[in-house]
């Protein structure tokens, strides 16, 4: 059975009894550390190949501009916030096509805004450019070329924050302990008991990968999400 927010907070208090009664570690603060820990664990699992959070969103495109250059714009689904991954990794790709053309334009990949601006300002590539690309600012997508008529974003859904005592963790049960371990790094940093934060996080990443590998030894990657659920 998945751990609840209350269970996770109690684990932190048990492992760090000195924080009990400390006004700097009220439940709201511990909840924040737990939610940060859950996002961290989810990100690590996605990077290891877990597929259970993959999703797609058929985008509603509008004519727009990016630095006065004509592009298509779209709002991304709200369950793909850029707090989960960096802008490059939250969206796997965007499949683009043009109306009335049986052949699609292919997969648009993320490029940063400077590279994107350089691309769309290159008059040599416009409008004959075929390979699409996109950049992202918050939940607004900018897609080039402007001839794109239909687009579907393939992305990773972010787990919802735990907000009530009965909210349950969204990562596989075998990895819930790492939510607490990541939260404890934040607690120890606030207690000024931590001098090697980056080393601790690096080791935690290795431990998650080791657990993942031990659970999935001999199992093909396309079945990983079934095994871990």
pLDDT tens for 111-160 read: 998 999 988 887 555 555 558 999 988 778 999 988 899 999 998 888 88
CA-nearest of 72, 76, 126 to 98 is 72
Encode pLDDT of 23-80 as tens digits: 999 999 999 999 999 999 999 999 899 999 998 989 999 999 999 999 999 987 766 6
Residue boundaries of the structural domains of the chain:
5-52+161-228, 54-156
Q: Are 143 and 168 in contact (CB under 8 A)?
A: no
Distance CA 116, CA 164 (A): 41
């Amino acid at each position: 059975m998945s751990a609840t927010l209350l269970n996770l907070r109690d684990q932190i208090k048990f492992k760090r009894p000195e924080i009990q009664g400390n006004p700097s570690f009220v439940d709201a603060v511990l909840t924040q550390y737990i939610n940060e820990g859950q996002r961290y664990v989810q990100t690590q699992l996605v990077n290891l190949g877990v597929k259970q959070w993959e999703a797609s969103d058929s985008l509603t495109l509008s004519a727009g501009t990016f630095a006065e250059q004509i592009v298509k714009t779209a709002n991304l689904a709200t369950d793909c916030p850029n707090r989960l991954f960096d802008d490059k990794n939250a969206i796997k790709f965007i499949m683009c096509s043009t109306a009335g053309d049986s052949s699609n334009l292919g997969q648009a990949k993320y490029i940063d805004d400077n590279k994107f601006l350089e691309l769309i300002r290159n008059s040599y590539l416009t409008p004959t450019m075929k390979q699409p690309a996109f950049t992202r600012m918050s939940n607004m997508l900018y897609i080039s070329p402007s001839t794109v008529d239909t687009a579907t974003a393939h992305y990773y859904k972010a787990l919802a924050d735990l907000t009530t005592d009965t909210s349950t963790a969204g990562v596989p049960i075998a990895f819930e302990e790492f939510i607490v371990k990541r939260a404890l790094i934040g607690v120890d940093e606030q207690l000024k008991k931590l001098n090697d934060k980056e080393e601790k996080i690096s080791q935690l990443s290795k431990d998650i990968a080791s657990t993942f590998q031990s659970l999935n030894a001999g199992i093909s990657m396309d079945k990983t999400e079934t095994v871990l659920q």
